[in-house]
Amino acid sequence: MTSPPDIEAIRAALDAYDRADAECVRLAQPDDHGSGERTARLAGLAAWEAARVRALDALELAAGTRDLAVARALIEG
């Protein structure tokens, strides 16, 4: 017998993923503020990409899947 999914953990993982993904999208946009700004933006992007992977890891632990649509269906249904 499997235990029911932890809805709050799934919700937290999805929130973390959405936040990290939004930052990745924002930071992936090119800018024209010079090389220092570009270096800082790319370093931030790398950090947010790592946060996105950690959120997927947490989602897999809580929901048994890395599929965002499946996880969202678990908390909606």
Q: Per-residue pLDDT tens for 6-64?
A: 999 999 999 999 999 999 999 888 776 777 788 888 899 999 999 999 999 999 999 99
Reported confidence tier of residue 2, pLDDT bands at 50, 70, 90: low
**DSSP readout, 8-65?**
HHHHHHHHHHHHHHHHHHHHTS---S-HHHHHHHHHHHHHHHHHHHHHHHHHHHHHS-
Reported confidence tier of residue 1, pLDDT bands at 50, 70, 90: very low
What is the pTM assigned to this prediction? 0.85
Give the span between the Cα atoms of 37 and 16, in whole angstroms: 25
What is the pLDDT, as a whole number, of residue 20? 97
